[in-house]
Structure 1
Amino acid sequence: MPIRVGIALYLVEGSAYYNTPSYFHWILVASTADSWASQPVRTLELKRPLGDTGYAHSFDNWDITLSSAVQGVVHLFTTSDYTVDSFQAMIQSNFPAYDSGWRYPGNYGPQGWTCATWILQILWHLRGEGTWVSNRHFEKTYTRVLNLGSELLEATDNVEYQGTVRVMDF
């Protein structure tokens, strides 16, 4: 049974008081359902635990429609190369939560170790093994996802609604 893979974009509101900008927290999501409206989905996430300076994996089955901060899903691909469980196992085995030194190629990308860097590293691997095929240049993946996130925020005509989940194809 094929799985769908995407990036759920969680809006973290900035603060004028602390002079911090808003940004998207990236959560890799996978599901066997035909639509992102079917919940829950498997979430594969890199989090910074409270009170800790490091990062930790978080793998869960979560209903992303329960959070008003989730702006939508950027649908990346559908594949039969993995099941949801084997996809999670591959990520757990190959992509640690700590900074492994991988950096985004090109001039436009996240600086340092972030949830976006971690997901982009996974996508780089999936692209290399032929699971994720895209006619877009990989170096523009980061800005493409951010631009699609902006469109999700504005709910433009390009946004597809799958139930209450806003979806944009990569």
Structure 2
Amino acid sequence: MSFGIALYYYGLNADPSHPLPYFHWGFISSEHPWSENNTISYEIVRQDDLVWKWHFTRPDLVQSARFSGIVELGEFPGPIDEIIRTCHPANDVDEWTVTGPSGWTCATWVMKLVIDLEERGYYNFPDGISVDNLYRTVLEKGEILRDLKGVSLIPVLPLNNLIRLKMNLCQSKHYMQSDLCVRFDRLIYVLVRGNLYL
């Protein structure tokens, strides 16, 4: 079973506690290729009474106007539903914090689940990815996925450090003059357009 983080773009200043741009996060899994659009999404959403509640659905990602793409985490050896229901309540967990999101949010909940699965040994973070940079890395992938919406019906990027390498190399005063960075951007575009993985 494949699993990852589904990102839904809500625009600028949608939530002052988050850096721009703002994405809603969900944990997503599928027993089929992502391109078949046959997934189960696990999310928490804040209700009118400001209480966070589980929202488990089989979304139509292709028809979702806000869906940006999936940051793929890897393969899981079995159903995730029981682990989520028994170990990851939707309501606020005041004592749990992580580098990145402010307070208890959809992103915090997904990160807690992802970190828990990694600590239980269900998968390993790729080289260059850690608890400390997971949030920023997912947001960076989200910006790329958002910009590629429409190029692929269900854009997918794996969680690895290639994008971080690109950011480290290219975020300098010479970024615009760097042919390496321009070619890296084009490579990302071509691979996603061809529905391939980095």
Selected match of 2:52 from 46, 51, 55: 55
Could you tell me whether the CA contact under 8 Å between 2:9 and 2:146 is conserved in 1?
A: no
Instruction: State the alpha-carbon separation in 2 of the partners of residues 4 and 118 from structure 1.
Output: 19
Report the aligned-residue RMSD: 2.2
For structure 1, the residue ranges without an aligned partner over 5 or more in a row are none
**Partner SS for 2:111:** helix
Runs of 4+ off more than 3 Å: none
- Greater strand percent: which structure? 1
State yes or no: 1:78 paired with 2:75: yes
Could you tell me how far 1:15 is from its partner in structure 2?
6.3
User: Which one-letter code corresponds to 1:28 in the other structure?
Assistant: F
1:165 maps to which residue? 154
Q: For residue 22 of structure 1, report the CA deviation from its aligned partner.
A: 4.7
Partner Cα distance (1:30, 1:9) in 2: 13
Query: What's the secondary structure of 2:141's corresponding residue?
Result: helix
Relative to the length of structure 1, the TM-score reads 0.82
Unaligned runs of 5+ in 2: 160-198
Equivalent-residue separation in structure 1 for 2:55 and 2:146 (angstroms): 25
**Does the CA contact (< 8 Å) of 2:41 and 2:56 recur in 1?**
yes
2-side partners of 1:68 and 1:125: how far apart?
30
1:5 and 2:19 equivalent? Answer: no
TM-score (norm 2): 0.71
- Structure 2 distance, partners of 1:53, 1:5, is 28
* 1:132 maps to which of 115, 123, 148: 123
Shift of 1:138: 2.0
Counterpart of 1:74, as a letter, is V
SS at match of 1:62: coil
Count residues in correspondence: 152
**2:55 equivalent to 1:46:** no
- Compute the displacement of 1:132 (Å): 2.2
Q: Does 1:103 align with 2:97?
A: yes
SS, match of residue 138 in structure 1: coil
